[in-house]
Amino acid sequence: MNILVVGGGGREHAIITALSKSPKVEKIWAAPGNGGISALAECFPVKATDLDGILGLAKKLNPDFVFVAPDDPLVMGMVDRLNEAGFRTFGPRANAAILEGSKVFSKALMKKYGIPTAGYETFTDADKAIEYIKAQNSYPAVIKCDGLALGKGVIIAKDFEEAEAAVKSMLLDGKFGKSGSEIVVEEFMTGPEVTVLAFTDGKTVKPMISSMDHKRANDNDEGLNTGGMGTIAPNPCYTDAFKAECMEKIFLPTINAMNAEGRTFEGCLYFGLMLTPNGPKVIEYNCRFGDPETQVVLPMLEGDLCEIFEAIYEHRLADVKIGWKSGYCTCVVMASGGYPVKYKKGIEMFGMDDKGQVDGAFIYHAGTKYEDGKFYTNGGRVLGVTCNAYTLQGALDKSYEAVSKIKFEGEHFRKDIGQKALKALPKDSLDLEYKHDMEDYIEENGVYLRQ
Ligand code: AMP
Ligand code: GLY
C-alpha cells in the first residue's frame, strides 16, 4: 500500500515509523512532513490545513490510504472531502471531530449521556460569566475557550482577578479569535492525569496503553502550558480497576453517545482523564492521536498499524489482534529556547545520527528541517527523544542519555519527566511483575536494564 500522511510533527514521525515497519506498506508520502520524516517518506510542502492543497496532492499521488493526523484539518472536514473524492482514510469526519473542535459540544454530550466530567456552565456574555464566577467563589476557577487554541485556550485562574482577566481576554478582547467567542467555566478537579488513546471504528473501542503527558514548560509543573514536554507509558496511576471503570463509564458511553447523535466516531479518540477522588472524569476529548503521547505509545505496539487503520475503515476492528510490549517507553521533548512564547528557528543541530547515539533510541523529529546533509531547528518543539526499557527508570535514564548527546543553541528540556510516575509505582512489585517477560523483552528490544 502507498500511504499519504497529513501532518508534520513528532506524532507523525512516530506514526510513519510504525507504518514503515508494516509489510503491507510500500511507499509513504507526507505533507508537509519534516526533516526527520524525510528519511522515511517523500515530503511535499503542502500545509496540513490546506484542504484544497491536500486534496490536489492526493489526486496527483493516488494513495491507497490517507491518514489525517492533526486536529485542525479533521475539524475542518478534510476526511469528508477525501472520502467524497473516493479516498480511503483514517480519522473522524467533521461531525465527529467536533468532539475536540467544540468544548461546548463535548460538555453538553457528556451531560446528556451521564459521562463523568467537571461541572460547568457556558457563556457568550462576559458580564454573565464574571457574575457566575463571583457567585461560585471557588478557586482555582477553570476557564476554557470553546474552540481549538493550540492547547493554550485553558486558563486555571487562582483568584477572581485572574478569572476576570481570562474571561475578558476571551470574550471581549478576542485573544483567541473565534475559538474564544463562547467559553466554558468549569469546576476545578484534582488527581493524577492520564491519557488514553483508543482505536475505534464506531462499533468496537480498543484502548491503547495509557500514558502521562507533562504539559507545563518547566520542571515541577511550572511555567506556561505547552503542547507537551514529555511523556511516559504506561501510566502507573492507571490501575486495572480504573481501566475497567473507564471502559464502562467513559469509553463505551462516549462511542454510544456519538452513534446516538448520528456522529459515529472513527479513528483515534483521545481521552484526557483525571483520576479524581470521586472516580475518573473526562478533562477533554481530542479527535486524534496525542503529541507527544503517540511517541511513547506506538513503539510499544505489537501489531501492524496499517492493518489496524484498514480494519477501522472497514468497521472490523473487533477482529484485529492488538498487543502491547511489556516494560516502559519514555519521551523527553527538546524545545527551542523561549518556547512556547518566542523562539528562533534555523539553528544547526548536532548529535542525532546513529553514530554515537544511544542504542535503541528513537529520535522523533517535531520541528526540524534537513538541508545539505544538516539538521536545523524549525519549530517550538524540536525533538522527542524516546527510549524503551524493562523498567521506567531504565527508559528514563536512556532517554536522558540520548538527550545529553544532542546539542543546539538554546535547547530547552524538562529534567523531571517521569518523576511523578516513578513516585506512583508500587516499589516492590515492579521487577516481579515483568520478570516472566524479561528475557523476551531484552531479546526483542536490546534494552538497558536497571542496575
Ligand atoms: P486541556 O487543554 O483541556 O487538556 O487542559 C489543559 C490542562 O489544564 C489539563 O491537562 C489539566 O492539567 C488542566 N485542566 C483542564 N481542565 C481542568 C479542570 N476542570 N480541573 C483541573 N485541571 C484542569
Ligand atoms: N499532548 C496533548 C495533546 O496532544 O493534545
With a Cβ cut-off of 6 Å, ligand 1 is lined by 118, 142, 151, 154, 156, 186-189, 193, 215, 225, 272, 283-284
The DSSP annotation for 11-29 comes to HHHHHHHHHHT-TT--EEE
Ligand 1 centre distance from Cα of residue 161 (Å): 19
With a Cβ cut-off of 6 Å, ligand 2 is lined by 151, 213, 227-228, 286, 290-291, 293
Among 148, 195, 211, 414, the mutation site with the greatest number of ligand 2 atoms within 8 A of its Cβ is 195
Ligand 1 centre distance from Cα of residue 301 (Å): 28
Strands 27-32 and 42-43, sheet pairing: parallel
- Backbone angles phi and psi of 18, in degrees to 5: -65, -40
What is d(CA 208, CA 298) in angstroms, rounded to the nearest whole number? 9
Ligand nearest to the CA of 143: 1
Q: For residue 432, how many other CB atoms are within 10 A of its CB?
A: 8
Query: Which one-letter amino acid corresponds to residue 41?
Result: A
Provide the residue-wise pLDDT of the chain in tens; the chain has 451 residues: 999 999 999 999 999 999 999 999 999 999 999 999 999 999 999 999 999 999 999 999 999 999 999 999 999 999 999 999 999 999 999 999 999 999 999 999 999 999 999 999 999 999 999 999 999 999 999 999 999 987 778 999 999 999 999 999 999 998 898 888 999 999 999 999 999 999 999 999 999 999 999 999 999 999 988 999 999 999 999 999 999 999 999 999 999 999 999 999 999 999 999 999 999 999 999 999 999 999 999 999 999 999 999 999 999 999 999 999 989 999 999 999 999 999 999 999 999 876 778 888 899 999 999 999 999 999 999 999 999 998 899 899 999 999 999 999 999 999 999 999 998 887 654 544 444 445 555 555 544 333 2
Ligand 1 centre distance from Cα of residue 140 (Å): 11
Rg value, the chain, Cα: 21
Ligand 1 centre distance from Cα of residue 97 (Å): 19
CB contact at 8 A, 73 and 54:
yes
Residue 216, SS3? strand
Bridge partners (DSSP) listed for residue 2: 27
The DSSP annotation for 136-168 comes to H--SSEEEEESS--TT--EEEESSHHHHHHHHI
CB contact at 8 A, 58 and 85:
yes
CB contact at 8 A, 226 and 381:
yes
What is d(CA 99, CA 451) in angstroms, rounded to the nearest whole number? 45
CB contact at 8 A, 100 and 179:
no
Nearest C-alpha to atom 4 of ligand 2 is from which residue? 290
Q: What is the pLDDT of residue 433?
A: 44
